[in-house]
Each structure stands twice: as C-alpha cells, then as structure tokens.
Amino acid sequence: MDTLETRELRYFVTVAEELHFSRAAERLGIAQPPLSRAIQQLERRLGVILLERSRRGVTLTRAGQVLLDEARTVLDGAAAAARRTRRAASSPNSLTLATKAGMNHELLRKLLDAYAAEPDSAEIEVLLCGMGDQARVLRDGRADVALMHRPFDDLAGFDTEDLLTEQLIAILPAGHPLAARTSLTMADISAIRDLPLARWPRQDATYEPGPGPEIHDQLQLAQLIALGQAVGVHCASAQSWLWSAHAAIPLTDSPHVTTVLAWPPHSRSLAVAGLIRTAAQL
C-alpha cells in the first residue's frame, strides 16, 4: 500500500529530527512504545528500513532521508491547505504577501499601488519576515505570495516573476578610509582588518564561519556599521534606508541580485493571479 497518513509522517519526521525515540515521544506527547510500533509498521508497509537502531543511537538510512524530505513537504502542504482554507472563508477577497523587513520599499510601494488600481484588486496584508523566512511562510500557508531574492533565497518549488535586478554594495562607516572610494571588490572587503564582515543566516538558519557578527535584521546591521564594528554587503536599494553615519560603495565583482515575486505553482487564487499580472507589467 502506497498511501501514507499524515499522523505517521509526523511521527517519523519527529523521530528523524530528534534521532532519539524517547525525546521524540516526549515532543509528540505520547508514550514511547506506541511510537516505536508506529515506525516499525511504517517500515513494514513501505518494505524498507528507515532508521538504523543501535546502542549508540538512531541514524537515518538513505531511504529514511528521502522520506524525511518528502514528508516535510507533505506536512507543510497539509498545514498550508488548512491555513489558506480558513483565510478564504474569513477573508475571501484578500491575500497575504510576505517580504523581508526593510527590503526595497520603493519597489514594494510601486507594486502595491499598481495592483490597487486594478478594478478587481483584493486587499493585501503585508507580512514582514526575518531573513530567509519568506520561503517557510509561503510553504506553510501563512502567505500567498512573497517577495524574495535570487540567488540567496530558497526558490525551490515556486513559480516566480522577476521584478528588479541590482548590484550589491558595501556599507561602511562614513569615516572609514575606504568610504572615499568610488568602487570596491569583494577582495577589498575581505582584506579590511579593522572591520569584520557581518554574517547573515543561510537557508538552513546556520552561519558561515568567520569573525564577523551574526546579523538577524537590518537595524542590527545598521547600528553595528554606524558604531564602526562591522562592514555589510547589501542590495543597492539599501541606500534608501542608510544613515548619515554610513557610506555605500558599489561592489564591481559581486553577483547581481534579482527581486522576484514567488508563489506556489498550484495556486488557483484569482487575487494571486491578478497580482502576478500586475508584477509582469511593471
């Protein structure tokens, strides 16, 4: 039988994340014996070994890793269906747009104004997210569409419409010697001894190793740069929120960043379709 229940998928994902049956059972709020039986029954039904059990602990097999990736997608989809169904009932003519707090507000304002001018436009709620959170809220149904950035954000599985492509800039304290330069390279940034490069979280929420401070939002970045404790790399549109204590220098050899409108490919929302049309015309 190929049919899988969301309950057993949730059980398996919890065990796979904890790699410990007792902790997984506690997290699920059930006893360990029925959890162990449920995983064993799942393995028998699929005809594969999902978890290797030993005295040293639990590890995922290759088949188990595949099921973990697929199960997370299924569970996210089920949660998204429930959330979007409730929103459709409570707010039938609205949609939620997720965006990183502090992104290009000029572009966002232009998109919202153009869409609002359409005759059948829906009400848009803007959901401000932390760094890299747009993909998660789009997958779990808290948002219908999202503004994201290629190549940095996780766009896997989404349809997209390109809106704006721009270069990266270095943001330094205004009094730094390099602030007088008309351009810089990434090698120039790496060679700065008195200012470590601020580090943004990756898609898995971890940070690249390095001496620079771990940054969670743009306000934190702005403060550290103004205090002379970090240098930042950001999209050129960041110049709209820079302080007088900052200097913005173009990076000539950095990759360009494209702001995109992203949405689930299975979306049948007329409001989403209307926003996509507006974005394509900008």
274 lies in the same domain as 234: no
Whose CA is closest to 265, among 165, 155, 163? 155
194 lies in the same domain as 55: no
Task: Give dist(CA 192, CA 177) in Å, integer.
Answer: 10
Domain count, the chain: 3
Domain holding 272: CATH number?
3.40.190.10
Q: Is residue 89 part of a domain?
A: no
Domain holding 58: CATH number?
1.10.10.10
200 lies in the same domain as 127: no
Q: Is residue 50 part of a domain?
A: yes
206 lies in the same domain as 151: no
120 lies in the same domain as 246: no
3-state secondary structure the chain: CCCCCHHHHHHHHHHHHHCCHHHHHHHHCCCHHHHHHHHHHHHHHHCCCCEEEECCEEEECHHHHHHHHHHHHHHHHHHHHHHHHHHHHHCCCEEEEEEECCCCHHHHHHHHHHHHCCCCCCEEEEEEECCCCHHHHHHCCCCCEEEEEECCCCCCCCEEEEEEEECEEEEEECCCHHHHCCCECHHHHHCCCCCCECECCCCCCCCCCCCCCECCCHHHHHHHHHCCCCEEEEEHHHHHHCCCCEEEEEECCCCCEEEEEEECCCCCCHHHHHHHHHHHHC
Q: Residue 226: which domain range?
A: 168-250
Mean pLDDT of 250-258: 92
Answer whether residue 17 shows pLDDT above 90: yes
To which residue do tokens 């120039």 refer? 188
Q: Is residue 87 part of a domain?
A: no
Mark which of 57, 82, 107 sits at the end of a domain.
Answer: 82
- Per-residue pLDDT tens over the stretch 209-235: 888 899 888 889 999 999 999 999 999
pLDDT-derived band at 2, boundaries 50, 70, 90:
low
- Per-residue pLDDT tens over the stretch 51-78: 998 877 889 999 999 999 999 888 888 8
- Per-residue pLDDT tens over the stretch 159-210: 999 999 999 999 999 999 999 999 999 999 989 888 999 988 876 678 888 8
* pTM, full prediction: 0.73
Mean predicted lDDT score pLDDT of the chain? 90
120 lies in the same domain as 151: yes
